[in-house]
Chain A
Amino acid sequence: MNRSAPSIPSAGDSRFPNAPLPPRAGAGLKADHIDAILADDYRIGFLEVHAENYMGDGGPAHRALAAIRAEFPLSVHGVGLSIGSQSGIDPDHLDRLARVVERYQPGMVSEHLAWSSHDAGYYNDLLPLPYNRQTLDRVVSHIVQVQDRLKRPILLENPSTYVAFEQSTMSETDFIREIARRAGCGLLLDVNNIFVSATNHGWKPMQYLRDFPLELVEEIHLAGHAEDTDDEGDMLLIDAHDRPVADAVWKLYEIVISQAGPLPTLVEWDNDVPDWPVLRREAMLADTILKRLGPASMLGSRHAAE
């Protein structure tokens, strides 16, 4: 199937022009940054929002996002769909996501390989799944349900995790590759999550990258992480999104871009959010790497051909 985000069919009555994410740096949109972004001479490549923040009926947040969407490509990133949930996808929440997608016609829609709701409770965190046949079937059927409702493919993001499960029978990379193959979704590669999970579980990040289906990746995430220790005093990294991207993650990102080619790259900063120029500096670093390594990449030709 065609993996590039399809434009929503319309008879020229579309509220916003079709705007795919460019292979440049983007930033997670924060309300406090909106005026600075709109006034900045540096034009960020795209902006990404958490879908749930725009599921209200109206108000100033929608006005601000419409102003951003009129000027920049937009990515809608869900955090509450609970794709791994044992109690199924909440059809009301899926309808709300569909409404956000219809309203803003984003270049990309993505969600997480995780769960966050069980029965009536919502835990506001991205919780881990065992990797086995049963959870694979569940996740695939949920992604198919989501894509059917949205009438477009979504991207699925690799998680950062702190625990593993005895019930797992597959590696994370095998699990994700099989999901993408069966559900026909694209992938969002969070490079910080690779580093966090690899450290936490004693994997080698390079091995993870070798096993990961890079050809299905359509967007990258970068973020900062915090350091802690586990019960034995071993390093435990926390996906905190509260500081600059770590040097080791930038190095891993350079390897990803040199292999996969230039890809839309989001810098996330969700806690202790700094002023816009600090986040912009991170985005500019990603832009520099994309410009330097993207064109010479091994898979770069696939993008040039599109």
Chain B
Amino acid sequence: MPRNEAHALGEQPAFSAALLDPDLPPPDGVIGPHGKAATKRFAVYRNNVTVSLINALADIFPVVAKLVGQDFFRDMARYFITRHPPRSALLFEYGHEFPEFLKDFEPVAKLPYLPDVARLERAWLDAFHAADAEPLMPETLGAMPQERLGDLVFTPHPGARIVQSDFAAVSIFSASREDRPLKGIQPLAAEDGLITRPFDTVQVRQLPAGAASFFEALTNGHTLGAAAALTLDSHPGFDLPSAISALLEAGIFTACHLENASSELPE
């Protein structure tokens, strides 16, 4: 059946519109037994939709909810879902627009780190559901010809994400998720976060200066040599050896190969 069959005639467009707009009356034709009114009855659906989507956002963004308070969060989420209803039946994919929404949502303007905290929470769930892959093993890297390390190209792990923030988003995220006090965190100190899931557990860590640019360059397909050069340009104090140990420890990549290895192999 064509996906747009009988739109104008059917009952679902009006039903859908009234679900997310409490100012609309129940749709035409919706009734209780013996033709009686169905205002409260229709409100059951409205409530199911709204509450379940608010709950979904509260599950995905628990730190944001904690930072703004549960009641405020639920009111804010109620507003968000009318503007950004889910497009997919996979609720664990909901809320990708939430960080941008927070950036423009005036009532939380005094918490400038909130959008980046939300990005970390969204990335956490992406990592949780990402495809399984074995992280790159130190032995694999060790077996590469040492004189050609600069030509190595890395395959990103499906669970790896980088979130760069102008604020202390990583410290705030970690303290809140681990139920530690936020006292002492300087919110205006810029932090870069790395999210990985090398095996079953999602890990979030703060990266030293330059490492985020370095990993992003590798993720985008630059060779180790080119990524290091780019990073040293922008971050002269960048510590390459410790970034490579962190790369192995966190499981950002699954494999590596020499950039022009295939062209050197005889057919």
Q: Which residues of A contact B (CB under 8 A)?
A: 52-53, 55-63, 79-82, 85-88, 90, 93, 96, 115-125, 127-128, 130, 134, 138, 141-142, 145, 162-167, 200-202, 228-232, 236, 238
Known: A56-B92, A230-B41. A163 touches B32 (CB 8 A): yes
Known: A86-B7, A123-B49, A164-B31. A118 touches B1 (CB 8 A): no
Q: What's the Cα separation between A139 and B129 when bound, in Å? A: 32
| Min C-beta distance of A118 to chain B, whole Å | 4
Q: What's the Cα separation between A166 and B53 when bound, in Å? A: 29
Interface mask (B1-35 → A, CB under 8 Å = 1, otherwise 0): 11111110011110110010000001011111111
Contact for B90 among A80, A116, A119, A236, CB less than 8 A = A80
B141 within 8 A of A: no
Is A116 a contact partner of B129 (Cβ separation < 8 A)? no
Chain B residues in 8 Å Cβ range of A123: 16, 19, 49, 85
Chain B residues in 8 Å Cβ range of A63: 200
| Min C-beta distance of A234 to chain B, whole Å | 8
Contact for B29 among A88, A130, A229, CB less than 8 A = A130
> Nearest residue in A to B37 (C-beta to C-beta)?
A231
Is B12 a contact partner of A165 (Cβ separation < 8 A)? no
Chain B residues in 8 Å Cβ range of A121: 16, 85-87
Chain B residues in 8 Å Cβ range of A59: 128-130, 132, 159, 197, 200
Contacts A58-B133, A123-B19 aside, 9 further interface pairs with beta carbons under 8 A come to A58-B129, A63-B200, A88-B3, A88-B4, A88-B5, A118-B15, A118-B16, A163-B42, A165-B30
Contact for B4 among A87, A162, A228, CB less than 8 A = A87
Is B31 a contact partner of A124 (Cβ separation < 8 A)? no
Q: Which residues of B contact A (CB under 8 A)?
A: 1-7, 10-13, 15-16, 19, 26, 28-42, 44-45, 48-49, 52-53, 56, 85-92, 128-133, 158-159, 197, 200-201
Q: What's the Cα separation between A282 and B3 when bound, in Å? A: 42
Is A87 a contact partner of B7 (Cβ separation < 8 A)? yes
> Nearest residue in B to A93 (C-beta to C-beta)?
B89
> Nearest residue in B to A237 (C-beta to C-beta)?
B44
Contact for A52 among B40, B42, B89, CB less than 8 A = B89
Chain B residues in 8 Å Cβ range of A125: 45, 48-49, 52
Is B89 a contact partner of A122 (Cβ separation < 8 A)? yes
**20 A–B contact pairs at CB < 8 A?**
A56-B128, A58-B130, A59-B200, A86-B11, A87-B7, A88-B1, A88-B3, A118-B12, A118-B13, A123-B85, A124-B53, A124-B86, A127-B15, A127-B19, A127-B45, A138-B1, A141-B1, A162-B45, A163-B31, A165-B11
Chain B residues in 8 Å Cβ range of A202: 33-34
Is B1 a contact partner of A164 (Cβ separation < 8 A)? no
Specify the main secondary structure of chain B where it touches its partner: loop
Is A86 a contact partner of B53 (Cβ separation < 8 A)? no
> Nearest residue in A to B2 (C-beta to C-beta)?
A88
Is A164 a contact partner of B7 (Cβ separation < 8 A)? no
> Nearest residue in A to B131 (C-beta to C-beta)?
A57
> Nearest residue in A to B13 (C-beta to C-beta)?
A118
> Nearest residue in B to A56 (C-beta to C-beta)?
B129
Chain B residues in 8 Å Cβ range of A162: 38, 41-42, 44-45
> Nearest residue in A to B6 (C-beta to C-beta)?
A86
Is B44 a contact partner of A238 (Cβ separation < 8 A)? yes
Chain A residues in 8 Å Cβ range of B44: 162, 228, 236, 238
Chain B residues in 8 Å Cβ range of A141: 1
Chain A residues in 8 Å Cβ range of B13: 86, 118
| Min C-beta distance of B54 to chain A, whole Å | 10
Known: A59-B132, A93-B89, A123-B85. A163 touches B38 (CB 8 A): yes
Q: What's the Cα separation between A247 and B171 when bound, in Å? A: 51
Q: Which of A59, A87, A125, A164 has the most chain B CB atoms inside 10 A of its CB?
A: A59
Contact for B129 among A61, A90, A165, A229, CB less than 8 A = A61
Chain A residues in 8 Å Cβ range of B19: 123, 127
| Min C-beta distance of A295 to chain B, whole Å | 38
Contact for B36 among A53, A117, A231, CB less than 8 A = A231
Q: What's the Cα separation between A286 and B131 when bound, in Å? A: 38
Is B31 a contact partner of A165 (Cβ separation < 8 A)? yes
Chain A residues in 8 Å Cβ range of B11: 86, 130, 165, 167
> Nearest residue in B to A166 (C-beta to C-beta)?
B29
What are the 8 closest A-B residue pairs judged by CB atoms, nearest first? A80-B89, A56-B129, A58-B132, A57-B131, A88-B3, A118-B16, A166-B29, A125-B48
